Amino acid sequence: MIEYKAKDWIPRDSKIAIAKKSRTVHFKAHIHDFVELVYIVSGKCMHSVNGVCHEVEQGHLLYIGVGETHAFWSDSEVECYEIYARPEFIQKKLLAERPDDILFLSLYQEFGSELSDMPPCVHFQGEDMTEIENLLGQILREYSGTAPGKDAVIKGYFLVLITKFLRKVRKDQMRQVDRQLEKVMPEIIQYIENNYCKSLSLEELAEKSFYNPSYFSRIFKELYGKTFTEYITEKRIRQAVQLLEDTPLTIEAICTKVGYRDKKHFYKMFKQKMGLTPGEYRREAVLQNTAKEKGKA
């Protein structure tokens, strides 16, 4: 397999190189000892990273790490930015050598191991896409110029680019998790319906669905418009109302039957939701039923 070397792609006195290219190309599978980022400006092509193919178009940004197998091909002209960076330019180990590098330090504190385990491709759209293209244009202009301090400016822009990439990675991952949780949520609701009279906790249901409790709580509220606690409370009070109206069970028995172990708490929740105590509600229900019966007679 072909192996490309940084010394042939990146100037000796630099840690990064960037070019904007327009071409129809077929690049066979290869590896390189540097990091490569490819942003598609226009056209469509196929990129393979470690054997996984990605059909890419405007807005796609690919990250190819050191030693990763990469190939790409297109049947029509594709315009793209290509950035090549020496691995030490973004690797965490440099922090030990450059402890004064606040930009890198803050980036690693924020994203941690994600820097060394990035997925190969993200897709920017709308304003985000425009921002990325402007950023790449600024990097290219600095790289092509001779203004004082250009290396520092390029480094700053590059860190912004990596940060934007990581934010998109995190956002996409959260959306994927959201979709997965949405799929299992009907099963959770059914479980609540079957077990609302038992002692249920947010932690228990989150564990059943293999999610962090705080994350589970957020998605639950987004899907159902109420917190887990509010959902359980409403379910129990609705059931209590039905039992008060349709059965001769004592209020104490109803309290236990709908899942409350504390009678005082049951009274408090019932009045909060219904505006009456359980006893008052039952008396009102009896009076209304009596009036209906007289009306029929």
The 3-class secondary structure across 6-51, one letter per residue, is HHHHCCCCCCEEEEEEEECCEEEEEEECCEEEEEEEECCEEEEECC
- Give the C-alpha separation, 269 to 233, whole Å: 7
9 and 132 within one domain:
yes
Determine contact, residues 36/70, Cβ cutoff 8 Å. yes
Please check whether residues 153 and 34 belong to one and the same domain. Answer: yes
Q: For residue 120, give its domain range.
A: 2-174
Extract the tokens encoding 246.
Answer: 């349709």
| Neighbouring-strand partners of residue 122 | 61
What does pTM read for this prediction? 0.57
Terminal alpha carbon distance of the chain: 94
Considering the domain architecture, whether residues 110 and 160 belong to the same structural domain is answered as yes
Q: Are 229 and 259 in contact (CB under 8 A)?
A: no
**Could you give the number of structural domains in the chain?**
3
Structural Rg of the chain based on CA atoms? 31
Do 278 and 141 lie in one domain? The reply is no
The domain that contains 257 carries what CATH number?
1.10.10.60
Q: Are residues 132 and 88 in the same domain?
A: yes
Q: Could you tell me the mean pLDDT of each successive run of 10 residues in the chain, 297 residues long?
A: 90 90 85 91 90 90 88 90 84 39 41 51 92 95 91 87 83 68 78 87 83 82 86 93 92 93 93 93 82 61
CATH of the domain at 23: 2.60.120.280
133 and 220 fall within a common domain = no
How many other C-beta atoms are found inside a 10 Å radius of the C-beta of residue 129? 17
| Residues 6+ positions from 84 with CB-CB distance below 8 Å | 6, 9, 10, 16, 17, 18, 32, 34, 35, 36
Residue with tokens 């959770």: 188
Backbone angles phi, psi at 39, to 5 degrees: -115, 130
Are residues 119 and 90 part of one domain? yes
Of 135, 128, 151, 13, give the one whose Cα is nearest residue 81.
135
Q: Are 145 and 191 in the same domain?
A: no
Here the tokens at position 91 are: 């690797």
- Same domain assignment for residues 46 and 87: yes
- Please tell me whether residues 238 and 102 are part of one structural domain: no
* CA 243 – CA 251 distance, rounded (Å): 9
Question: Among 151, 174, 197, which residue terminates a domain?
Answer: 174
Q: Is 120 found in the same domain as 102?
A: yes
Specify whether the CB–CB gap between 51 and 71 falls below 8 A: no
| Shared-domain flag, residues 168 and 42 | yes
pLDDT tens column, 72-131:
888 889 999 999 998 877 654 333 344 334 344 344 444 444 444 556 789 999 999 999
